[in-house]
Amino acid sequence: MGSNNNDDPLITETLLPEVRVNKDEDDNLASKVWTETKKLWQIVGPAIFSRIASFSMNIITQAFAGHLGDIPLASISIANTVIVGFNFGLLLGMASALETLCGQAYGAKRYQMLGIYMQRSWIVLSVCCFFLLPFYVFASPILKWLGQPDNVAEESQVVALWLLPLHFSFAFLFPLQRFLQCQMKNQMIAWVSFVALALNVLLCWVLIYVLDFGVIGAAIALDVSWWFMGIALFIYVVFRCPLTWTGFSMQAFTGLWEFVKLSAASGVMLCLENWYYRILILMTGHLKNATLAVDALSICMTINGWEIMIPIAFLAATGVRVSNELGAGNGKAAKFAAEVSVVQSSIIGVIICLIIIIFRDKFAFIFTSSTDVLEEVDKLSILLAVTILLNSVQPVLSGVAVGSGWQGMVAYVNLGCYYVIGLPLGILMGWVFKLGVKGIWGGMIFGGTAVQTIILAIITVKSDWENEARKARTRVAKWSNPEPDDQSEAGH
């Protein structure tokens, strides 16, 4: 099973015809890069658009609610950001297990297994949604405990309950998106996201202004828009994916414990990072004279939030490309896909980093005209630029981890870097050395994100990619079996 890959019928049969990096040694590098770039951007382009569209639905809904008054705006913003945001990150991370399994199965041409995996993900994520219900049911006491005023917490409780359909839509939609993404069917995801965005604007106007449903109308608009995406993509899957969707199957109920473990590792891996930056804002709020610092940091985090949609799209694309090639038994092609993705994402990151530095005293005008806030943003702009630069590399390396099935290991790396090194260093720099928000942010970036990026880079560079390809084939064979828990390799 070692080096004589040409004699292995599975590898010979399943090699992707368009990328045979290990056989096309005579091809020039430019041709290889161009071929890989086209494959990569088939995913990156639609992924950027669909993520920005989904992100914008929340912003638009909050903008409509903002015209109802301060409390309605605060209630839907907090319910959406704190309650829904916490659960969103966990469910999104858990669904990313499909990027490993569906991607590798698609590369290995085990097409029928993609539909089985998606159904398993629906089951696992739906059960998880029920376990997360207390966050919605007890939103008011949770928010009061976090320091929110009583009237805002109580109004947020009402909004959170009306957002329960949105909560359950994640369990249905996220697996569908990854199922299609692993087959390079990303254009449909982008088009459905665009229509959902337009539908959200229309529903917000009708429900809030015409029917006078108030903040509840804003919640319903989000519910309907997100469920529209899920139902539209499911209809597309049923009629346009005959190879990978063969109908509902009882096989989806087998091997669920292994699936739970991989999904949980994926969820924890991404959540630890998502919560890290939320903690940054919470910590800044406890500084003396924190209002100015929080305003400036919020502007920087908003810019970072829009920009990070690009590297997150690269994360998704890298996960698909790496998993496809590993599933096809093509380790060198997987490594090459990772290298191309890192380089291209880094180039974009450098360009945006330079734009931030050049216009460091100008870009905050988009959000405020306060001289004090503008000056504070100017002081923080270098940290924002460094954050953007690191974020152009780190998510891509996380994508390599997802595509390779390293989620459990990377979850430990994230825990150590973010919460053992970065967070204490941020507290030390912010309070002990009295550097304020710059100390907190700087400590968390250089102590957490930078160290994590270096470790992931070392893991990626040191990996034996041909061995990873063999592991992927073993994983595909195991998970394609109706009773994967019976395999001796269950702990792999």
The runs of H, that is alpha helices, within 241-330 are 256-284, 290-307, 309-327
Give me the half-sphere count of Cα atoms (radius 13 Å) on the Cβ side of residue 162.
20
The reported pLDDT for the residue numbered 126 is 95
Q: Pull the structure tokens for residue 187.
A: 């254009």
The reported pLDDT for the residue numbered 238 is 95
The reported pLDDT for the residue numbered 481 is 63
Strand locations in 33-177 (E): none
Q: How many residues does the chain have?
A: 492
Long-range contacts of 259-263 (CB under 8 A, 24+ apart): 259/97, 259/117, 259/120, 259/121, 259/124, 260/124, 261/408, 262/97, 262/100, 262/101, 262/405, 262/407, 263/94, 263/95, 263/97, 263/121, 263/124, 263/125
pLDDT digit string, tens, across residues 201-225: 999 999 988 898 888 998 999 999 9
Cβ(167)–Cβ(87) under 8 Å? yes
- At 23 the three-state DSSP class reads coil
Q: What are the sequence ranges of the domains in the chain?
A: 41-254, 264-476
| Residue labelled with tokens 């015809």 | 17
The reported pLDDT for the residue numbered 27 is 57
Q: Is the pTM of this model over 0.85?
A: no
Cβ(314)–Cβ(339) under 8 Å? no
The reported pLDDT for the residue numbered 300 is 84
Of 275, 228, 252, nearest to 125 (Cα)? 252
Cβ within 8 Å of residue 452, ≥6 positions away: 394, 413, 414, 417, 418
Category of 347 on φ-ψ map: left (φ > 0), alpha (ψ -120 to 50) or beta: alpha
Cβ(327)–Cβ(111) under 8 Å? no
- Intervals of the chain under pLDDT 50: 1-24, 26, 483-492
Q: Is residue 25 exposed (0-12), middle (13-18) or buried (19+ Cβ within 10 Å)?
A: exposed
| Residue labelled with tokens 């346009």 | 240
